Amino acid sequence: MTAGLWQNWVLPGIWITVQLLFYSAVVATAVAFAIGMARTHRSRLVRFLAGFYTEIFRGTSALVLMFWLFFVVPPLMGWQLVPMYAAVLALGLSYGAYGAEIVRGALNSVAPAQREAGVALSFTPWQRMRLILLPQAVPEMMPSFCNLLVELLKGTALVSLLGVGDVSFAAYLVRLATQDSAQIYTVSLVIYAVLAFAVTRSMKALERKTKRNIGIEPEPGLFGRVFERQAQDKVTGTTMPGGAS
Amino acid sequence: MTSFDWSAVSDFMPEFWDGVLITLQVLVLGSLISFTLGLVWAIAFRAPTRFVRWPVNVFTEFIRTTPLLVQLFFFYFVLPEWGIQFSALTTGTVAIGLHYSTYTAQVYRAGIEAVPKGQWEAATALSLPPHRTWMAVILPQAFRRVMPALGNYVIAMLKDTPILLAIGVLEMLNQARQFGGQSFQYTEPLTVVGVAFILIAYPASLLVRALERRLVR
């Protein structure tokens, strides 16, 4: 593979993939929190509508939704979405529905006494959600969100079928140019694996941060473990709880 | 602004049912592959030597964190270069089965770890040979726990079958796309396919939830 192919296709492809991941993660997070909180709402109607949304978007495939937004919406509505936006919208809406289930589960797992304490202090429902429930629920969501984000990263590869120039699309073009599939497809698989590793690591860091915010001392991360081991060797052989944090 | 054309829906029906058949075929065979291969990985995770455990861990983690689409292209374009030629349908089924086997492996792993330690010790005390320990003691207890989770992955696999259109497998979505290409009517076939996915996936997820209540207590 020549340098020109790298510079013109593969590197911009990586950038497009990262952008897609970022934008659709933002959309998905917004949808997940809105729908997930709506599923714990007092009103039956709100709960039903939110449940309906999750079942519809979890029931259908992200790729079908993407095709639908790309081919069906333009003639029905009279306007055309840029492929990139159609992709972000489809990914955000369907992965948001998965995220909503995570948010709902985490909100339900907060001890009921916490909510009751909020009622006793006459917090408004929104204050209870913002000040009591969410800070405790968010660290619970982090491991599941981490998995979902890796799924979302894998989902971004689908956009190449709509002609968005991401890593998979670049791989396709390079294959046509070089007639050598093994090399470029191995490279692009490795690119995705590295991106996924970066995503997992940053989500782990975020999880530790959110835990520390509510006073739970998290397990040390990758670097924390290294420092902890050094601290142990140098001094008396006992470790400080939590290590260097 | 065009309206929904019901005659296009009825025109699409023959192709649609062909697509449903292919989708279900991929789903059933892919599930079988993922169930068996996942079990192989799960047992390899517990191998006595790290020379087996580590490569299997790295391999499954790699498959699990990379997109199915790119893996499909890899199998479809690279294997023929090495002289192995399969049809698109076979390649797609094997790829989707392999991809999901890395998920089922995690499910089996959790299921096996949930079997109480005393069961292993009892098998050792009775000096059962390893294959009897697995087949007669551990796996029957693990299967009960993993059934609902496996069901969820079958549903997830159903929703990933449209990806096979990238290598030209004529499953539901590809049939819709082809029909749209010929008649310039995309709205109707794509809507039919979208609704069909919900109609299959939603009852299936209700079934899995019922199974979960029955088996996991």
As a whole number, mean pLDDT of residues A223-233 equals 59
pLDDT category of residue A242 using cuts at 50, 70 and 90:
very low
Element of type H or E holding B88: helix B88-113
Q: Is 70 exceeded by the pLDDT of residue A89?
A: yes
Most confident stretch, A214-218, B34-38, B164-168, B171-175: B34-38
Q: Please determine, for the modelled complex, whether the ipTM score is greater than 0.90.
A: no
Q: Is 90 exceeded by the pLDDT of residue A149?
A: yes
Comparing A179-183, A227-231, B54-58, B158-162, the range with the smallest average pLDDT is A227-231
Best of A160, A189, A194, A195 to substitute, by most chain B Cβ atoms within 10 angstroms, is A189
In 3D space, the residue among B45, B48, B67 whose CA is nearest the CA of residue B57 turns out to be: B45
Contacts of A231 (CB under 8 A, 6+ apart): A239, A240, A243, A244
In 3D space, the residue among A216, A122, A181, A144 whose CA is nearest the CA of residue B70 turns out to be: A181
| Residue B148 half-sphere exposure toward CB, CA atoms < 13 A | 14
Chain B residue with CA closest to A163: the answer is: B166
Nearest to B197 among A60, A76, A181 (CB): A60
- Assigned architecture for domain A3-214: Orthogonal Bundle (1.10)
Q: Of how many residues is chain A composed?
A: 245
pLDDT category of residue B10 using cuts at 50, 70 and 90:
confident
Residue A73: per-residue pLDDT: 79
Tell me the average pLDDT of chain B.
Answer: 89
B73 and chain A: CB distance < 8 Å anywhere?
A: yes
Residues of chain B found within 8 Å of residue A56, distances taken between Cβ atoms: 198
Model pLDDT for residues B186-206, shown as the tens digit of each residue: 888 888 898 999 998 888 888
Element of type H or E holding A146: helix A134-155
- A201: its two tokens: 């690591």
Interchain CB distance below 8 Å, B70 and A189: yes
CA–CA dist B77, B75 (Å, integer): 6
- CB distance A95 to A152 below 8 Å: yes
pLDDT category of residue A17 using cuts at 50, 70 and 90:
very high
Comparing A2-6, A189-193, B32-36, B65-69, the range with the smallest average pLDDT is A2-6
Please report, rounded to a whole number, the percentage of residues in chain A having pLDDT higher than 90: 49
Chain B residue with CA closest to A168: the answer is: B70
Looking at residue A24, what DSSP letter applies? H
CA–CA dist A203, A8 (Å, integer): 31
Q: What is each CA distance from A226 to A170, A234, B171, B177, in whole angstroms?
A: 38, 13, 50, 53
In 3D space, the residue among B103, B92, B109 whose CA is nearest the CA of residue B34 turns out to be: B103
Residue with tokens 């941060």: A209
In 3D space, the residue among B53, B4, B182 whose CA is nearest the CA of residue A72 turns out to be: B4
The better pLDDT of the pair B85, A39 is held by A39
Please report, rounded to a whole number, the percentage of residues in chain B having pLDDT higher than 70: 98
B190 and chain A: CB distance < 8 Å anywhere?
A: yes
Comparing A19-28, B98-107, B122-131, B170-179, the range with the smallest average pLDDT is B170-179
Model pLDDT for residues B131-147, shown as the tens digit of each residue: 899 889 998 888 888 88
Residue with tokens 């075929």: B25
Chain B residue with CA closest to A56: the answer is: B198
Comparing A50-54, A114-118, A182-186, A231-235, the range with the smallest average pLDDT is A231-235
Reduced to 3 states (helix: H, G, I; strand: E, B; else coil), residue A236 is coil
As a whole number, mean pLDDT of residues B19-31 equals 92
- For B:114-173, CB contacts with A below 8 A are 158-163, 165-166, 173
Q: What is each CA distance from B114 to A147, B41, B214, in whole angstroms?
A: 21, 17, 17
In 3D space, the residue among B25, B103, B31 whose CA is nearest the CA of residue B61 turns out to be: B103
The better pLDDT of the pair B140, A30 is held by A30
Interchain CB distance below 8 Å, B1 and A76: yes
- CB distance A136 to A197 below 8 Å: no
B178 and chain A: CB distance < 8 Å anywhere?
A: no
Query: Three-state SS string across B122-136, please?
Result: HHHHCCCCHHHHHHH
Residue A245: per-residue pLDDT: 41
Residue with tokens 């492996």: B105
Q: Is 80 exceeded by the pLDDT of residue A162?
A: yes
Element of type H or E holding B214: helix B187-215
Looking at residue A218, what DSSP letter applies? P
Looking at residue B165, what DSSP letter applies? G
Instruction: Give the phi and the psi of residue B176 in degrees, each rounded to 5.
Output: -65, -40
Nearest to B163 among A56, A158, A171 (CB): A158
> Would you list the domain boundaries of chain A?
3-214
Q: What is each CA distance from B91 to B80, B103, B164, in whole angstroms?
A: 11, 19, 9
Residue A10: per-residue pLDDT: 87
Q: Is 70 exceeded by the pLDDT of residue A232?
A: no
Residues of chain B found within 8 Å of residue A182, distances taken between Cβ atoms: 78, 81-82
pLDDT category of residue A231 using cuts at 50, 70 and 90:
low
CA–CA dist A132, A102 (Å, integer): 18
CA–CA dist A71, A65 (Å, integer): 10
Q: How many CB atoms lie within 10 A of CB B165?
A: 24
CA–CA dist A142, A148 (Å, integer): 10
CATH superfamily for domain B20-173 = MetI-like (1.10.3720.10)
Instruction: Give the phi and the psi of residue A240 in degrees, each rounded to 5.
Output: -70, 140
CA–CA dist A144, B82 (Å, integer): 39
pLDDT category of residue A223 using cuts at 50, 70 and 90:
low
CA–CA dist B35, B26 (Å, integer): 14
Nearest to A59 among B65, B186, B202 (CB): B202
Residue A226: per-residue pLDDT: 63
Q: Is 90 exceeded by the pLDDT of residue B55?
A: yes
Residues of chain B found within 8 Å of residue A158, distances taken between Cβ atoms: 67, 69, 163
Give the distance from residue B61's alpha carbon to the nearest chain A alpha carbon, in angstroms: 9
Best of B62, B63, B66, B103 to substitute, by most chain A Cβ atoms within 10 angstroms, is B66
- B196: its two tokens: 């069909």
CA–CA dist B151, B171 (Å, integer): 21
Interchain CB distance below 8 Å, A75 and B165: no
Nearest to A71 among B163, B180, B205 (CB): B180
Residues of chain A found within 8 Å of residue B180, distances taken between Cβ atoms: 71
Model pLDDT for residues B43-53, shown as the tens digit of each residue: 999 888 889 99
pLDDT category of residue A86 using cuts at 50, 70 and 90:
confident
- Please give the interface size between A and B, counted as residue pairs whose CB atoms are below 8 Å apart: 119
Interface of A with B (CB under 8 A): 55-56, 58-65, 67-68, 71-72, 75-78, 150, 153-158, 160-161, 167-168, 171-172, 175, 181-182, 185-186, 188-189, 192-193, 196-197
Give the distance from residue A98's alpha carbon to the nearest chain B alpha carbon, in angstroms: 11
> Would you list the domain boundaries of chain B?
20-173
CA–CA dist A237, A221 (Å, integer): 20
